[in-house]
Structure 1
Amino acid sequence: MSNYDQQSEDFLNSSVLGDDFFNEIVEKKLGNSRNGFKLQLILLSPATGKNENYVSVLYRAKIKIEMIETNEKKSVDVIIKASLTLEEMKTLNSFHRERAIYEKVLKSVKNIWFEIAAKVIKFGPQDVVFKTNPYEIIVLDDLKAAGYEMLNRKVGLNMEQTKMLLMKLAKFHAASAILYQESGKIDDHFDRKIIPLFPEEGSMIDASRRMLEAFETSVRNNEGFEYIANKISNWNVKKFLAAFTNVAEPMKCGFQVMNHGDVWVNNLMFRFDHETNSVNDVLMIDYELSFWGSPAADLLYFLITSVEDNVKVEHFDTFISFYHEQLSESLKMLKYVGHIPTLSELHIDLLEKGFFACSSMTGTLFFAKYDSNEEFSMEIFLSDEDNSEKLARLYDNDNYKKAMHLQYLPTNQILYTTIN
């Protein structure tokens, strides 16, 4: 049994998941004292499949209750997210950061849209309960119960779904720019210059080195990619990790936004109109890596990791222009008083911060395209054991190689120049 599976089992068998915990959830969700209802049945099931989540355990909970005065039966649906206790993951400070997003940022940007533009816009699930001992736990509304669904990470998003996300992302970024003008950075954990995402030494650095080596081997094994493989061989871990700090800088014009920080398919929930089979909303989840910086970070990360391969390559510049239109329009609606970046300024910023796309390709794109029955976990990267052969085998899968092949085509300036 892997460390991840053991921790998941330990969590399920812990005293944390007792009546007091579930009573508190129902109280917060319904606004009723626990004296007014009684627990009837609690159903727990994994919220993600194998190889779908790497730093937390997530469970879907259906809490069935009976109201004492009326005997009415009700059901409360939530997601229970517990941070893993791997020491390496604790250095990311993900719980503190995500809690601050739910308690401060999401509520604020929603209020900004309502108060200034009279629009009700939701960006993520409603938080319900937070716990810090003995586990770091966030309890959220279950979006699936509200009709939202996660799409296939191996395939990626089509044109319509991509534009829907870019529209929502632009609105989030715009409101966050207003928020920064009003309240500053809010929390030091959103400033990577003060609290870097990764320590300078330790197992996370070693994990990144192993990831880079496996990535280079995978690229080198692609016929006709020798030139690119030779370029990649000159990368080093410091340059690789510096990309995560460089994107946390404002644009040269001074514009900056709150980046979600981990915008990929598994962190998006879509709602469809099933009569027309068209998407009508999308919400973002898992705000563990959010930070202030250039919008180039979310744009590069999302487009590289989460859009259908052919759609991404053919329409990359179109998506950038569409996002810019949505951002500019949103900033004007919210009466933003600062400089609104031009499309040219955004293009320049994307090129200057383009190496971040390479970091996304070696890590999250691999997770998104991973298509094997062989079990995979972050422990493979973090282990002191020599897993080089296994990593090379995991990276050498056709779904991932096809995505990489298309992304390095010299027809796309931004993608192609990132290898330098």
Structure 2
Amino acid sequence: MTTVKEHAEANAIVSDNPKNIPVWLNEQFFEDIFVEGHRLERNTFRVKINTIVPTGGAGENYTSMLYRANVDAESDDGDTKTLATMVKVMDAAPEIKQFGVFAKEKIAYQKLLPTIEQLWMNVGETVRFGPRCWKTIEGEIDLIVMDDLNALGYSVADRKKGVDLQHAQIFLTKLAKFHAVTATDYRKNGPIHSLYDNGWIQQEGRAFFEQFLKCVQPLVLDLLDSWPGYEKYKLKLEKNFKGAFDKLMEATMKDDSGFVALCHGDTWTNNHMYSYHESDKAKDVLLIDYQGPYYGSPVLDILYYIITSTELKLKTEQFDELVQFYQEQLADNLRKLNYPGAIPNLREIHIEILRHGYFAMQCLYSILPVVLADKNDNANLAGFVGDAEENRQFRRDVFNNPLYHEHLKVVIKMLDVRGFLDHD
């Protein structure tokens, strides 16, 4: 296993570097990628770093720091090979480490994606689910080096605006392929890795998660209490919030008697990237940020996506059409892959959504406000659970956002008429 110390002075950030670039992100680091990933012979080329820039930033990434690097390998014979990469450095906070997010993502790029893409190849389709991984390092710093999808023509949608119907259908088409192939592989071969078999949340994370809920739930209740006509929703949520951690455990738990697929686990806008036709219509989408996959009901990904990532009008007026579109895609793909079980019909998908409705509330009050938030220098995990004034102010900024209020006022009514708030 390669360690950061083999590249440079591990875990050090150069304080006088105006771009705040880690010292180990140097020519030697990229030389190893050209040799190991591109099969260039060492000592036959020179590495030239064109650019390395931090990207994302506060409010865009909560568990990692990203660096976009463009690097050349200039060979002795005059040939030049350019490498456009994204270097993802994981947050070293203990609460992040305990959830195993780096291990899950490393397994995703090294085993999961190659396996399921090959399964699609086996039935005659070329399907790509994410960027290629060129290098992983585990040690003082955990990091992954992957394709810079932006250099390949992919970009994220506007998280505050949300996506329209055409974008949503492109995404649901790809997600249905992901669910279909992982469901088929699961039924034939079992879990692709044991780390994916422990649910969306685990008992080990109870203390952190309950502190998070303790910090954010009162803010939602205060909002509802301040709006005329919303008192009944506050009363329902007060009941809902009792034993919330255990209810979420139950709502997201795998049920092997039903339909099980691998959920991506974090399908908000910043975790998928679109490519476009010349007409500016979305052409393809790739999933990124594989830190949280888990086996469970695929409707959990659907609820997460629709509530957090689509336009307000689309999620409230065409929710059922989106679900129907997804089910049709899922069924078609399961048939192509010779899924060895019963294929869920539309009625069964809607029953699953109702069964897992408590998770929809989680998406509405703890994920959507973060998606819609303005950029904030205090946007980090401590901002959600910390007691410092800057942490409390961050939470107030997130929940006092007029854009979130616009969504909350409408979506909570939609979830209520579907019975999602009736979890005493």
- 1:304 corresponds in structure 2 to 307
Displacement of 1:175 after TM fit? 0.6
Deviations 1:198-228 (A, max 9, x none): 5254344212210222222233333321111
Closer, same or farther: CA 349–191 of 1 in aligned 2, 3 Å: same
Closer, same or farther: CA 63–184 of 1 in aligned 2, 3 Å: same
- 2:188 corresponds in structure 1 to 182
Closer, same or farther: CA 180–9 of 1 in aligned 2, 3 Å: farther
In structure 1, runs of 5+ residues without a counterpart are 1-5
Displacement of 1:149 after TM fit? 0.6
CA contact (8 A) 1:260 1:290 kept: yes
Closer, same or farther: CA 380–237 of 1 in aligned 2, 3 Å: farther
- 2:61 corresponds in structure 1 to 53
Displacement of 1:261 after TM fit? 0.4
**2: distance between equivalents of 1:201 and 1:162?**
33
- 2:29 corresponds in structure 1 to 21
Pick the aligned partner of 1:107 from 102, 114, 129.
114
| TM-score, normalisation: structure 1 | 0.91
| TM-score, normalisation: structure 2 | 0.90
**1: distance between equivalents of 2:13 and 2:61?**
12
Pick the aligned partner of 1:407 from 407, 411, 414.
411
3-state DSSP of counterpart to 1:202: helix
Q: Spell out the pairing of 1:285-296 with structure 2 (5 A cutoff).
A: 285-296=288-299
Closer, same or farther: CA 389–59 of 1 in aligned 2, 3 Å: closer
Displacement of 1:412 after TM fit? 7.2
Closer, same or farther: CA 332–379 of 1 in aligned 2, 3 Å: same
- 2:44 corresponds in structure 1 to 36
Closer, same or farther: CA 285–145 of 1 in aligned 2, 3 Å: same
After superposition, the CA RMSD in angstroms is: 2.4
Closer, same or farther: CA 96–242 of 1 in aligned 2, 3 Å: farther
Displacement of 1:373 after TM fit? 5.5
3-state DSSP of counterpart to 1:417: coil
AA aligned opposite 2:383: I
Matched, 1:207 2:212: yes
In structure 2, runs of 5+ residues without a counterpart are 1-10
CA contact (8 A) 2:45 2:76 kept: yes
**1: distance between equivalents of 2:13 and 2:201?**
28
CA contact (8 A) 1:7 1:84 kept: no
Which of 391-400 and 231-240 deviates more?
A: 231-240
Closer, same or farther: CA 314–196 of 1 in aligned 2, 3 Å: closer
Pick the aligned partner of 1:258 from 262, 271, 293.
262
Closer, same or farther: CA 7–211 of 1 in aligned 2, 3 Å: farther
Matched, 1:338 2:341: yes
Deviations 1:26-70 (A, max 9, x none): 22442212322111224211231431111101111111221112x
Matched, 1:91 2:98: yes
Q: Spell out the pairing of 1:122-161 with structure 2 (5 A cutoff).
A: 122-161=128-167
Displacement of 1:87 after TM fit? 1.1
Which of 37-46 and 14-23 deviates more?
A: 14-23
Displacement of 1:282 after TM fit? 0.3
**1: distance between equivalents of 2:348 and 2:13?**
46
Aligned residues: 409
Deviations 1:310-342 (A, max 9, x none): 111110000111100000000011111211112
CA contact (8 A) 1:370 1:397 kept: yes
- 2:327 corresponds in structure 1 to 324
